[in-house]
Amino acid sequence: MANLSHLVKPINLEQANEILSLYNQYGNATALAKALGKKDRTVREWVLTAKEIVFTDGKAPPKHFVKATSTLYDAEGNKKLEWIKTDRQKESFDEIKDDLIEAFNSEIKPLKPIKKSTGHDKELMVVIPMGDPHIGLYCSEWEVGEKFNLEIAKADLCNAVKYLIDAAPKADRCAIINLGDFFHADNFAGVTSRSGHSLDMAGRAPEMIEVGVTAMRYCIEYATEKFNHVDVINAIGNHDDLLSIALSCLLHNVYQNNPRIKIHNEPRTRHYLRHGNVFIGVTHGNSSKDKNLPLLMATEKAKEWGETKYRFFYRGHHHHDEKIEYNGCIVEQFRTLAPSDSYAFGNGYISGRDIKAILMHSKYGEVGRITCSIDMLRGEK
């Protein structure tokens, strides 16, 4: 194996091309990191920087803030090489000021009441758990096998929820449960707020927010046209700690004139929902162990625990299907419609992709399910 000890984070076009050539040779960031003796996160950052340098012909990439330049001269004073030092974590105010001004000046008008239909089954509730939508995630076909961006994320989520609502019986109640990580990132920098992990972003933060809010409003309003009452819960994810709370606040404002729509906008790690003899807990799943969730439910909601028979705790986070019955409560983890990002794909974190509607009877608990897989969804379009 060739000596790769000279490789560092790329700062010019020549270094960027070398990093990308090796990245293609080794197949993924994990294999290249092993060859270099570096951390996966470090090499992933190198690869992202290299792509941006190459795509902009060695100039400062879009969304990068130029901090300084370094120039190498020969003995005769001729410029031989120049490095452009940029900061990927910070955008210049000029690039974001228009988005900020528009966001602060836009008037949020509460929506007029949505006309209700008739003939509902009073005993039924349709529950739609959204497993980690990750709106804002970018995937390229040559890295993970398929393309994924803001437009695709919006189309997938809206079409899947529409399919489930159309296929469901005309229940009195519907619960749209976002299990967290609705947004792929929580900031302009495109990194996780807790660990600083660099994320593959499909667009700028304002674009991500616009698409996410539009998609969620479509799902809520389409459900309200069919069902008599609609509950909306947004769990706080580890990718969108702040934006998940902001989303609930925004939706609460928009639908305040619609008493048939209840936005559970309390900024809590765990939410609860009751439907007769059915009691459902909701959490993202990154801050608690599954085996502890039933006891947390019984402790936090002792009255509801004692008065109900069918208890469930729904969670996301790991993107896998898993269902475990503990004493008195079933804990279930749900899949996502989104593909794995390059980091997860490179490390083999791959799962099936679907979204479900669960039919809950107020007396008898779960009485049916409807599943929309990604293959069926794409076939529907």
Quote the number of domains for the chain. Answer: 2
Q: Is residue 106 in a domain?
A: no
Q: Is residue 3 in a domain?
A: no
- Looking at the fold, whether 298 and 353 belong to one and the same domain comes out as yes
- Looking at the fold, whether 277 and 200 belong to one and the same domain comes out as yes
- Looking at the fold, whether 67 and 160 belong to one and the same domain comes out as no
Q: Is residue 94 in a domain?
A: no
Q: What's the one-letter identity of residue 46? A: W
Of 87, 102, 134, the position where a domain reaches its end is 87
The residue behind tokens 């799902």 is: 219
Q: Report the alpha-carbon distance of residue 138 to residue 236 in Å, rounded.
A: 21
Q: Is residue 104 in a domain?
A: no
Q: Is residue 107 in a domain?
A: no
Q: Is residue 292 in a domain?
A: yes
Count Cβ atoms below 10 Å from residue 141 Cβ, excluding itself.
9
Q: Report the alpha-carbon distance of residue 294 to residue 327 in Å, rounded.
A: 8
* Residue 78, domain extent: 13-87
Residues forming beta bridges with residue 37, ordered by sequence position: none
- Looking at the fold, whether 124 and 239 belong to one and the same domain comes out as yes
- Looking at the fold, whether 311 and 195 belong to one and the same domain comes out as yes
CATH number of 265's domain: 3.60.21.10
State how far the alpha carbon of 263 is from the alpha carbons of 44, 146, 223, 230, 255, in Å. Answer: 38, 34, 14, 8, 8
Q: What's the one-letter identity of residue 168? A: A
Q: Is residue 288 in a domain?
A: yes
- Looking at the fold, whether 289 and 141 belong to one and the same domain comes out as yes
- Looking at the fold, whether 143 and 55 belong to one and the same domain comes out as no
- Looking at the fold, whether 216 and 82 belong to one and the same domain comes out as no
pTM as predicted: 0.73
State how far the alpha carbon of 207 is from the alpha carbons of 15, 118, 151, 185, in Å. Answer: 31, 37, 10, 12
Each residue's pLDDT expressed in tens, for the chain with a length of 381 residues: 456 767 778 777 888 888 888 887 887 777 888 888 888 778 877 887 777 776 555 554 444 444 455 555 555 656 555 555 555 444 444 545 555 455 545 556 788 888 877 889 999 999 999 999 999 999 998 889 999 999 999 999 999 999 999 999 999 999 999 999 999 999 888 888 887 888 999 988 999 999 999 999 999 999 999 999 999 999 999 999 999 999 999 999 999 999 999 999 999 999 999 999 999 999 999 999 999 999 999 999 999 999 999 999 999 999 999 999 999 999 999 999 999 988 888 888 889 999 999 999 999 999 999 999 999 998 865
- Looking at the fold, whether 122 and 45 belong to one and the same domain comes out as no
- Looking at the fold, whether 126 and 18 belong to one and the same domain comes out as no
Best CA proximity match to 248, nearest among 267, 230, 265, 273: 265
- Yes or no: say if 321 and 334 are a contact pair by the CB < 8 Å rule: yes
Cα 217 to its chain centre, rounded Å, is 16
Q: Is residue 108 in a domain?
A: no
- Looking at the fold, whether 137 and 285 belong to one and the same domain comes out as yes
- Looking at the fold, whether 247 and 186 belong to one and the same domain comes out as yes
